[in-house]
Structures are given as structure tokens and as C-alpha cells.
């Protein structure tokens, strides 16, 4: 597919430069390496309850890859090209709607990637990240997103989070998605405590975030992956042990290292092997955290050792992002230097390099969080 670099005249508020899926039907079978297109698009309109954010940095996520290759149609998540991807961003508020009270132009913000509308049962109980209407509200998934200069955010008062001055936009991009999901899984769900064994299966951006967060609170972290670069990064971020699953059985290795299993084990990838290995790595009464979404291959279902779960009284936690009001604790740990989300960012790129990074995700040939840096 030819790469088009068409530009139209710059309009008021500056025309947008985006990456969009080429305007042809996505085939049933995933087809990779169809380059994205840079072109001008209209500015998004500011909703009365929302805000327009000028995007400073946007992480490229495996979710973008799933959507790009049409891997999630089975779960009802498919995009219609042309489409602008991008859901993990930080930036500056450009404009606010008439019903917005807490934000003004110029505020530095990060956007939790799973927003709520504020009135359903889950929003009212402080869990807007699992809002009943959430699926319609995610830029880059349910409408045009942040691989652009400007992006619209709905219900800004309950969804935007203020960034401390000490955190750069690039370092904060992961806080919109993978890093905050890892925080929610490790801290809020698994309630990891100092000295516990924590196994992390799959050391992509989210797995590496979990490694750093668990290590920061004093857990003994075992990182599992099949890429040498990912394992080296895990070691760098605080893993006490690393296991290369190409040459060792991770379950056996973890059971031996921990003399009976990890107290907490995390599937940060979402394929059958990592999910089952994570459950089998646990000690009695251990906690499994599911951070990774499955692919079209598993289509949401993974066979699990139910009798072991029963006999060993294992607990399973699903984790999907994190609600905005929980950012305070995470940002405080970032400001104190205990957490360093910027260390999980492996490199910054320009828009023009986005296609190559998405394509490399097919073979898990990326390390950490790659961020498109705009300013």
C-alpha cells in the first residue's frame, strides 16, 4: 500500500495531521504492513460536557494493533476506515465545553483511557472506568482518537486528570493506559505487599509497568518473556529474576524459585499460554491478575485448571484501566520518585514512524512503551 502524505490547506485552529487507516475495507484475515496515511482532517468539535486536548504525546498500544489488524471483531470492536487511532495521551487543554467547570485552556492533563459518563451505577460508585456507556466514549476506539493534533474528550470534569509539573508529557503517556492499568492491578486488586513473590508473564509495556510498580513497593518480582530485550528491560526495572520461556518452563521455574509458588501472578499479555502459566505459578491462596486482553485466537476464552483454582483457593482479578480519582496515589508515587513511568518508555518517534511500530507488534518486536512525541 502506498504511503500518501497528502496535506490540505491549514484551517483555523490549524488543520490536523493524523494517521488514519487507508479507506478500504479491512480484510477478514489480519493483514499487516498496510501503511497508515498522514492527511488533513477537520478539527474535532468540542462537546458541551467535554474538552479538546492538544496532544503532546501518545503511546502506541497493542490495542491500536488489535484494531489495526481487525483482531477484535469477535468482541464487537472494529473500526471503519478511515479512522484515527490513539487512546493513551497527555497534552494541554485547548478548549472546554460550556458545561465544564474544572478545566480551562492551558491545563496540563492526562486522559484515563476508559472514561465514564458519570450517572450509571458504576460511575456513581466511583468506578467510572467500567461505566455502562464506556465503550462509546473512548477516543481512538469508539471515535477518532489521538494520533492527531487535537482530540475530543467527553465528560471532561470526571475524566481528565491534572498532570503535576514535574512529569513530562512523554513520561506521562503510559499513565493513560498501560501503566495505570498495571498500577490498578498490582495495588488495588492484588494488593501486593512488600516481600511477596510477584510473577509477571509477558513483559510488553504493561508487563514492564507491573514489574516496576511491584518492585517499587518491595515485592520480589519474577519476569517471564520470550524476548531478550524485554527481559533485560525487566531486570533494569527491578525484576529480581528473569525467565526466558523459550528455554525454561516458567511454571516449574517459578515454583522452584519461590518454593511453592508466587503469591501474585499477572498475565500481562492475554494469550492462552501466559494466562494458564500465570494461574499455575501461584501458591495456595494466590492471586491471579488478568491485565492482557485475549486475541482473536482465544476469542475471550482460555481453558483454566479449575480444580487447582478450587483446591488451592486461588483468586482471580480482572483489571481494566483505572478510574481517574485513583490517579492521586499513583501520581504521588511518581512525584516522590518511587515510580518512574518514563523508564518504561523505550523511545519517542514521529508520526511518520508509527506504521513501522504497529507492524513490529505482530512479532512482539517492540520493547516497552513507544511514544509519538508532538511537542
Judged by the rule CB under 5 A, the positions of this chain that interact with Zn ion are 61, 63, 88, 116-117, 120, 123, 131, 177
Report the residue number, 132 or 188, with the smaller CB distance to Zn ion. Answer: 132
Shortest CB 166 distance to Zn ion, Å: 23
Shortest CB 132 distance to Zn ion, Å: 5
| Phi, psi of 79, deg, nearest 5 | -110, 155
Shortest CB 17 distance to Zn ion, Å: 21
Nearest to 118 by CA among 85, 173, 156, 149: 156
Nearest to 103 by CA among 46, 57, 145: 46
Sheet holding 220-225, edge to edge: 241-244, 220-225, 197-201, 262-267, 282-290, 315-318
The whole-angstrom distance between residue 14's C-alpha and the CA centroid of its chain comes to: 29
Shortest CB 131 distance to Zn ion, Å: 3
Shortest CB 251 distance to Zn ion, Å: 28
CB 59 within 8 A of CB 173: yes
Report the residue number, 65 or 150, with the smaller CB distance to Zn ion. Answer: 65
Report the residue number, 116 or 261, with the smaller CB distance to Zn ion. Answer: 116
Report the residue number, 123 or 239, with the smaller CB distance to Zn ion. Answer: 123
Q: What b-and-e string marks burial along 179-199, b requiring 16 or more CB atoms within 10 Å of the CB?
A: bbbbbbbbbebbebeeebbbb
CB 131 within 8 A of CB 116: yes
Which residue number places its CB atom closest to Zn ion?
61
Report the residue number, 102 or 249, with the smaller CB distance to Zn ion. Answer: 102
222-to-3, 191, 236, 244, 260 alpha-carbon distances in Å? 42, 17, 12, 11, 14
Shortest CB 201 distance to Zn ion, Å: 19
Report the residue number, 154 or 374, with the smaller CB distance to Zn ion. Answer: 154
Amino acid at each position: 500500500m502506498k504511503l500518501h502524505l497528502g496535506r490540505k490547506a491549514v484551517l483555523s485552529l490549524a488543520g490536523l495531521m493524523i494517521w488514519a487507516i487507508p479507506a478500504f475495507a479491512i480484510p477478514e484475515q489480519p493483514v499487516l504492513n498496510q501503511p497508515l496515511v498522514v492527511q488533513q482532517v477537520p478539527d474535532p468539535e468540542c462537546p458541551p460536557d467535554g474538552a479538546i486536548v492538544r496532544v503532546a504525546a501518545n503511546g502506541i498500544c497493542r490495542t491500536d494493533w488489535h484494531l489495526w489488524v481487525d483482531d477484535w471483531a469477535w468482541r464487537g470492536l472494529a473500526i471503519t476506515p478511515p479512522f484515527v487511532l490513539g487512546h493513551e495521551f497527555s497534552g494541554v487543554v485547548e478548549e472546554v465545553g460550556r458545561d465544564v467547570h474544572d478545566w480551562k485552556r492551558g491545563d496540563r492533563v492526562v486522559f484515563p483511557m476508559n472514561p465514564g459518563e458519570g450517572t450509571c451505577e458504576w460511575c456513581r460508585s466511583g468506578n467510572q472506568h467500567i461505566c455502562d456507556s464506556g465503550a462509546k466514549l473512548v477516543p481512538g476506539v469508539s471515535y477518532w482518537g489521538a494520533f492527531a493534533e487535537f482530540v475530543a474528550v467527553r465528560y471532561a470534569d470526571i475524566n481528565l486528570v491534572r498532570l503535576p509539573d514535574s512529569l513530562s508529557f512523554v513520561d506521562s503517556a503510559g499513565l493513560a493506559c498501560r501503566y495505570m492499568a498495571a498500577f490498578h492491578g498490582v495495588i488495588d486488586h492484588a494488593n501486593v505487599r512488600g516481600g511477596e513473590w510477584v510473577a509477571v508473564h509477558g513483559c510488553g509495556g504493561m508487563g514492564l509497568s507491573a514489574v516496576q510498580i511491584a518492585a517499587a513497593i518491595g515485592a520480589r518480582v519474577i519476569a517471564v518473556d520470550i524476548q531478550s530485550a524485554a527481559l533485560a528491560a525487566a531486570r533494569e526495572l527491578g525484576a529480581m529474576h528473569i525467565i526466558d520461556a523459550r528455554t525454561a518452563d516458567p511454571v516449574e521455574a517459578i515454583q522452584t524459585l519461590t518454593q511453592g509458588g508466587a503469591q501474585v501472578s499477572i498475565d500481562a499479555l492475554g494469550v492462552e499460554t501466559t494466562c494458564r502459566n500465570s494461574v499455575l505459578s501461584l501458591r495456595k491462596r494466590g492471586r491471579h491478575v488478568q491485565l492482557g486482553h485475549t486475541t482473536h485466537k482465544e476469542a475471550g476464552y482460555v481453558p483454566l485448571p479449575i480444580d487447582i483454582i478450587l483446591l488451592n483457593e486461588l483468586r482471580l482479578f480482572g483489571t481494566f484501566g483505572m478510574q481517574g480519582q485513583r490517579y492521586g496515589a499513583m501520581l504521588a508515587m511518581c512525584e516522590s520518585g518511587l515510580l518512574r513511568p518514563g523508564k518504561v518508555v523505550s523511545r519517542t518517534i514521529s508520526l511518520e514512524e508509527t506504521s513501522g511500530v504497529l507492524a513490529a507488534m505482530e512479532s512482539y518486536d517492540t520493547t516497552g512503551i513507544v511514544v509519538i512525541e508532538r511537542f
